Amino acid sequence: MIDFAGRTAFVTGGANGIGIGIVRALLAEGCKVAVADIREDHIERALRSLDNQMVMGVEVNVASREEMARAADAVEARFGPVTLLFNNAGVNLFQPIEESSWSDWDWVMGVNLDGPINGVMTFVPRMIAGRKGGYIVNTASMAGWLASGSPGIYNTAKFAVRGMSESLRYSLAPKGIGVSCVCPGLVKSYIYASDDIRPDGLKADARPVDRENVKRLAGMHEVGMEPDVIAARILQGMRENQAYIFPMPDHREELAEYFQEVLADYRDYPEDPGYDERIRIEAFRRQSYKAAREAARKAT
C-alpha cells in the first residue's frame, strides 16, 4: 500500500477541476504538493484557497519538454524528489476529426498526450534513480474507452494515454513504482472553456468559438462530479493499486455492453498456414501478459 505522508507530489492541471481536488486530498495526507498549471492567475487563486506551507505553484506548459524539466528542478529544489506524479492536465475541442485542422491536432494532442509523455519522461528516471518507489496516475477519461464522432482528437489522445498507462504499469512494477489510469466521466471543471488558454501559435485554421455551445457545456459541467469526491476515490484506488480507477459507476453497464459488441465482431475462420506455430507463440505471450498483470497487482 502506498504511503502518502512526507512524499512530494507534482499535479498538472492542478489549479482547477480534478487537479485541485487531488491537491487538497494530498495535502490532507501530509504530502508536499506542486500545483502545476499553465494559468498563473488560477495558480495564485488556488494557493490562496489552500493556506498551506507545504504547497507551491509552478507555471508550466506540459506540452513543452523544456518547461517540464525546469518545473521538475524547481519543485525538487524546494520539496525534494517527486515520487507522486499526476498527469492530469487536459483540454478539449468538441468537434469531429474531419472538421479539425493541423493546429487543432497539435494543441489537443500536445496537452493530452504529449503532456503525460513529458511527465513520465521527466520524472520516471528521477524516481528510479532515487530508489524510493513512487506512484503515477494518468488521467484518461471514459472517452478513452467509449468514443463518439465528437470529440475525435480528445478520444484519440485518451485512448493512447490508457495504453501508455497499462504498459508503464508492467514495466515499472519491478522498480516499486505503481501506475493507475483514472477514467472519469462528467466532472465539475472548466474544460469546456479550453479555447481560453489555446496558445496563439496554435490557432491557425481554428474554428470560431461557439459561445452558445460553451454556455451549454458549462451548464452540463456544473452538475459534474465534485473534484474532492473524485480525488478521494483516486487516492483510494492508489491504495488498492488499481490498474484502472473508475470514480463514477455511471458507465459500468454501457462499458459491458460495448465489450460484448466488440467480442461479437470476432469470427471463427478456418485454420490458415502457420496457425499452429502462431498459436504457440500467442500462448506464450498470453501467459507472459497474465503474469505481468498479476505481478503489478502485488507490487505495491
Least Cα distance to 160 among 208, 128, 205, 112 occurs for 112
Q: Is residue 129 part of a domain?
A: yes
The pLDDT score that the predictor gives to residue 195 is: 84
Asked whether residue 9 carries a pLDDT value surpassing 80, the answer given is yes
Position 236 in a domain = yes
- Looking at residue 79, its pLDDT comes to 98
CATH code for position 15: 3.40.50.720
Look at residue 178 in the predicted model and tell me its pLDDT: 97
Average pLDDT taken over every residue of the chain: 94
Place of cell 497487482: 297
125-184 confidence digits (pLDDT tens): 999 999 999 999 999 999 999 999 989 999 999 999 999 999 999 999 999 999 999 999
Least confident of 63-67, 198-202, 204-208, 215-219: 215-219
* Angle formed at CA 44 by CA 41 and CA 47, multiple of 5 degrees: 150
Question: How many domains are there within the chain?
Answer: 1
Instruction: Give the C-alpha separation, 110 to 118, whole Å.
Output: 10
Quote the domain boundaries for residue 240.
8-299
Chain segment 214-251, per-residue pLDDT in tens: 677 667 677 789 999 999 999 999 999 999 999 999 99
- In a domain, residue 114? The reply is yes
Position 210 scores a pLDDT of 75
Active-site positions?
A: 154
Give the long-range contacts of residues 150-154, CB within 8 A, separation 24 or more: 150/94, 150/95, 150/96, 151/92, 151/93, 151/94, 151/95, 151/96, 152/95, 152/96, 152/97, 152/98, 152/100, 153/93, 153/97, 153/100, 153/104, 153/105, 153/108, 153/109, 154/92, 154/93, 154/108, 154/112
pLDDT of residue 295: 96
pLDDT tens for 108-119 read: 999 999 999 999
In terms of pTM, does the model score above 0.75? yes
Question: At which residue does the C-alpha cell 485518451 appear?
Answer: 158
Residue 55 within a domain: yes
Q: Does residue 14 sit within a domain?
A: yes
* Residue 1 belongs to some domain of the structure: no
The pLDDT of residue 300 is above 70: no
Euclidean distance between CA atoms 223 and 204, whole angstroms: 33
3-state helix, strand, coil in the chain (%, to 5): 55, 15, 30
CA dihedral 89, 92, 96, 98 (to 10 degrees): -70
pLDDT band at residue 189 under the 50/70/90 scheme: confident
Is residue 158 in a domain? yes
In a domain, 3, yes or no: no
